[in-house]
Amino acid sequence: MQLVSVENLSVSYGANTVLRAVDLEIELGEIVTVVGPNGSGKTSLLKAIIGARQPAKGSVKLKPRLKIGYVPQRLNFDSTLPITVERFMRLTGNVDRKLCIPALETAGVPHLLKCQMSELSGGQFQRVLLAGALIKRPEILLLDEATQGLDQPGSAAFYRQIEAVRRDTGCAVLMISHDLHVVMSAADRVICLNGHVCCAGTPAAVASAPEYRELFGAGTGGALALYRHDHDHVHDHNHNHNLNTPEAAE
């Protein structure tokens, strides 16, 4: 089933075109990762999909009444806005209190329900944002550099959680990230963006594409191999997908 269909999309800020002629389709159950250097239009693509940016050219079509779970990079509020995890989660979906705990459990942090958002650590915060997106039982999860501020073990654990969510709920996932290696290992499909689609395909195909190597340098090839190993290892041993296991912290 086609959830998102982007055709010949161009996005401009004034005279400055940041995204040209992008085609993208996302189906139920697949994990699509968008990688690209700073200013490559990753965020603009995501903004166009959620309707925060009007396309200069082309079109963005969503499945009618598509349920989107959006995991932002961060929240703008500082400590001046007092809000508990529970209140935050129920805010966007206007959902029942009972749904909070299962969503937090899926995100791996059920004990945080009554905490103030301002008192969470970086990793806990991202998980709560994920839980807030999951509570609406989305058909597609959109992640905008959701692991920014997390260290590599932290973001690796976070992406394993995303894979688990996809496996358990069958939703599609579209994520953009700087964390090339970690993200690549978790994706079904990778789109390498630099103002336009440089190359796309399976992680292995993209990693060996000359366009990708030109963009990120040959050094990332080694890192990718390393993380692929790490990824396999996790699949062999870590079945509960709990972040607090020693494996996640290695």
Partner 1 sequence: MLDDFMARAALAGIGVAVAAAPLGCFVVWRRMAYFGEATAHAAILGVAMALALDISIFAGALFVALIMAWIATQLSGRGYAMDTVLGVLAHSSLAVGLVVVSFLSGIRIDLMAYLFGDILAVSRFDIAIIWGGALLVIALIAWRWAPLLITTLNEELAYASGLNPNREKLILTLSLGVTVAVAIKVVGALLIVAMLVIPAAASRNLARTPETMVMIAGIIGAISALVGLKAAYIFDTPAGPSIVCVASVFFVTLSVIAAFKKKLV
Where do contacts with partner 1 occur on this chain (CB under 8 A)?
Answer: 46-47, 50-52, 68-70, 72, 74-77, 80-84, 87-88, 91-94, 116, 142, 144
| Main-chain phi, psi angles of 22, to 5 degrees | -95, 130
Q: Shortest approach of partner 1 to residue 19 CB, angstroms?
A: 16
How far apart are the C-alpha atoms of 42 and 192, rounded to whole Å?
A: 9
Q: Shortest approach of partner 1 to residue 171 CB, angstroms?
A: 14
For partner 1, the closer CB: 83 or 225: 83
For partner 1, the closer CB: 65 or 237: 65
How far apart are the C-alpha atoms of 54 and 22, rounded to whole Å?
A: 14
Residues contacting residue 197 through CB under 8 Å, at least 6 positions apart: 21, 22, 23, 24, 191
Q: Shortest approach of partner 1 to residue 83 CB, angstroms?
A: 6
For partner 1, the closer CB: 10 or 43: 43
For partner 1, the closer CB: 69 or 195: 69
For partner 1, the closer CB: 70 or 216: 70
CB atoms within 10 A of CB 2: 11
Q: Shortest approach of partner 1 to residue 141 CB, angstroms?
A: 10
For partner 1, the closer CB: 15 or 218: 15
The string of DSSP letters for 48-66 reads: HHHTSS--SEEEEEE-TT-
Give, for 231, the enclosing helix (H) or strand (E). helix 219-237
Of 173, 167, 161, 170, give the one whose Cα is nearest residue 31.
173
Q: Shortest approach of partner 1 to residue 73 CB, angstroms?
A: 8
How far apart are the C-alpha atoms of 109 and 61, rounded to whole Å?
A: 34
Of 242, 177, 238, give the one whose Cα is nearest residue 31.
177
Q: Shortest approach of partner 1 to residue 153 CB, angstroms?
A: 26
